[in-house]
Amino acid sequence: MIILRNTILAIAFLAALFGCKKEEQSVYGHYKPRFVVEGWIEQGDYPHVILTHNIPFFTSLDSAQLSEVVIRWAKVSVSDGQTTEVLTAKKDNDYFPAYIYKGNELRGMPGKTYTLTIEYAGNTLTSTTSIPPKVPLDSVWFIPKGDGLDKVQLQLRFKDNPSEKNYYKIYTKTSSNKRYIPTLLSNHDDKYFNGKLLTLQVNRGPENNLTVENQPYFNKGEAVMIKFATIPKEGFDFWSTFQDEVINSSNPLVGSTGKIKSNIQGPGLGIWCGYGSYILQATATP
C-alpha cells in the first residue's frame, strides 16, 4: 500500500513538474509541487547544496517517503563570476536527507558574489548570494545555570562595525551534534545595536522542530564549537521568517504568518546563503 502510494506520489510529482497541475491538484488537494533548496557557501569552504522537493500533507512520514524527497540527478553549479563549478552529489550521513551536492574547487571569499544554478528535468532554479566580511567575537564565557547550577549558559560579546550593515547568525555544536545547530534566537540585525559592543546570552536551539524537549544550556566541561556568522540580507530575511514559522507558529499569540522569504528563483523555494563564519572552540566551564 505504502509502495503504491509512493509510486503515485512520485509520478504525480514529476507529472506536475511537467505541467499537468490541474489533474494533480484534484488528487492532492492544494499541493503545489516545488523544489526545495538549502545551499550555503562559507568563507574558506566549498559550496554545499541539498536539493529536495516538497511533499503533500500526510499525517505521517515513513522512510520510503523521506528517502524519496531527494533530487539526485540535478545539475548544480556555482559561479563567482569568473569560475563556474559543477557540484558533485555525494552521500553524507551528517545531513538529512543524507545526500548533498558539494564543490571541491571554488572556495568562499568575503566580498564575492556567488550564483547558484540548478537544472533538472527542464526546470531551472537560480539564486545569488554573497559572503559578508566576518566579525570576530570579542570574548566568550559561560555562567552557571540550571536547577542545581550543574549546567552552564554561553555568553558572547562582540563589537558591531558601525560603518557596515551587518546581519548575524549564531550556531553551536557539541560532540552530540553532527551539524552546527542555530541557537534559540539565532538571527540578529545590527540596526538596533549598530556600532555597539553587544553582549548576548545564548541558549542552545533544538536540533530541529521534531523534538519537544530543548536543553538551552551546556553540560559542564563539554567542548563547544561556536560559529558566529555574518550573513547577507537575503539570508537574514529567510532565516528570521523561518524562525517565526518554525518556532512561533505553535504560539497562539504569534501564529503562523506562512511567509518564509525564499531567495530562490524558479519553481522552488529555500535559501542560498553566504556566511562569513568566525569559528571558535571553548570549554563549557564557568
Partner 1 sequence: MYTFQFLSLIRKSPFLYLLSLKFAFLLLLTLFLSETNAQNSYQIEGHLYNASTKAPVANATIKTRQKTTSSDERGYYNLVLNEGEHVLTLTHIAYDTLQISLILQKDENKDLYLHPKMALMNEVVVSGSPRKSNIRSVSGNVQTLTREDLRKQPAFLGQADPLKTLQTLPGSGKGGEGNSGFYVRGGTAGQNLTLFNEAPIYNPSHLLGFFSVFNAEAIDQVKLYKSAIPSEYGGRLSSIIEVNSSRKVEDSLSIRGDVSILAANTTLALPITSNWSLSVSARKTFMNQTVWPLVNSLAGNGSSFNDMRYDFHDLNLNSNARIGSRNSLNLSAYHGGDRFGFGIRRFNISNGMNWKNSAYSFSWKSILEDRAVLQNTASYSGYNFNFGMTQDKYDANITSQIRDINWKSVLALYFQKHQLKTGLQYTRHRFKPNTPSVSASDTEYDFGLPNIYHSDESSFFLSDEFSVTEKTGINAGARFTYYRQLGPYQLTNEEQETVSFGKNEAVSAFGYIEPSLTLRQLLNQNSSLKLSLSRNIQPLHLISVTAVNFPADFWMPSLRSIPAEKGLQASVGYFRDSGKDNRYESYIDLYYKKMSGLVEFSGGIMNLIDNLKIEENLLFGSGRAYGAEFFLKKNTGKLTGWIGYTLAKSERRFEGINGGNYFPAKYDRTHDLSIVSSYPLTSRWNVNASFTYATGNAYTKPASRYLIGGNIVNEYGPFNGNRMPAYHRMDLAATYKIRNNRKFSTELSLSVYNVYNRQNPVYIYFLAEGDLEKQKVSIRPKSVTLLPVLPAVNYKFSFK
Q: Which of residues 138-197 bind partner 1 (CB under 8 A)?
A: 153, 155, 179, 182, 184-185, 191-194, 196-197
3 binds partner 1 (CB under 8 A): no
Amino acid code (one letter) for 99: Y
57 binds partner 1 (CB under 8 A): yes
Binding piece for partner 1, criterion CB under 8 A, among 112-120, 128-136, 212-220, 277-285:
212-220
- State how far the Cα of 286 lies from the Cα of 271, in Å rounded to an integer: 36
The vertex-180 CA angle with 44 and 83, nearest 5°, equals 25
Q: Is the dihedral of CA 47, 258, 11, 209 positive or negative?
A: positive
250 binds partner 1 (CB under 8 A): yes
15 binds partner 1 (CB under 8 A): no
Q: Is the dihedral of CA 173, 241, 271, 25 positive or negative?
A: positive
Binding piece for partner 1, criterion CB under 8 A, among 80-88, 224-232, 246-254, 276-284:
246-254
119 binds partner 1 (CB under 8 A): no
What cell was used for 188? 540578529
> Closest CB to partner 1 among 4 and 210?
210
**Residues in CB range of 8: below 8 A, 6 or more apart:** 27
- Nearest approach, Cβ of 111 to partner 1 (angstroms)? 26
> Closest CB to partner 1 among 80 and 200?
200
| 248 to 98, 236, 272: CA distances (angstroms) | 28, 17, 23
- Nearest approach, Cβ of 212 to partner 1 (angstroms)? 5
